[in-house]
Amino acid sequence: MNGLLVIDKPSGITSRDVVNRVQRWFPRKTKIGHTGTLDPLATGVLVVCIGQATRLADYVQAMGKSYASCFRLGATSTTDDADGQITENRAAIPPTRQQVDDALIHFVGEIEQVPPAVSALKLDGVRAYELVRQGKGPKLDARVVSIRDIRVKNYDWPWVDVEVDCGKGTYIRSIARDLGDMLGCGGLVQTLRRTRVGLFTAEQGITIDADAASVRLLPLAMAVTTLPRVTLEPDIVKRLQDGQFVRHPLPYPLGNPTQPIAVFQPTGEFVGTIRAMPGGTIKADVMIRG
User: Is 181 annotated in the active site?
Assistant: no
Query: Which is nearest to 35 in space by CA: 275, 199, 174?
Result: 199
Distance of alpha carbon 155 from alpha carbon 46, whole angstroms: 28
81/77 Cα distance (integer angstroms) = 6
Which is catalytic among the residues 8, 39, 81, 165?
39
* SS3 readout for 173-228: HHHHHHHHHHHCCCEEEEEEEEEEECCEEHHHCECCCCCHHHCCCECHHHHHCCCC
Q: What is the CA radius of gyration of the chain?
A: 22
Asked whether the beta carbons of 180 and 190 are under 8 A apart, the reply is: no
Q: Shortest CA distance to 196 belongs to which of 258, 149, 260, 143?
A: 149
Residues recognised as catalytic: 39
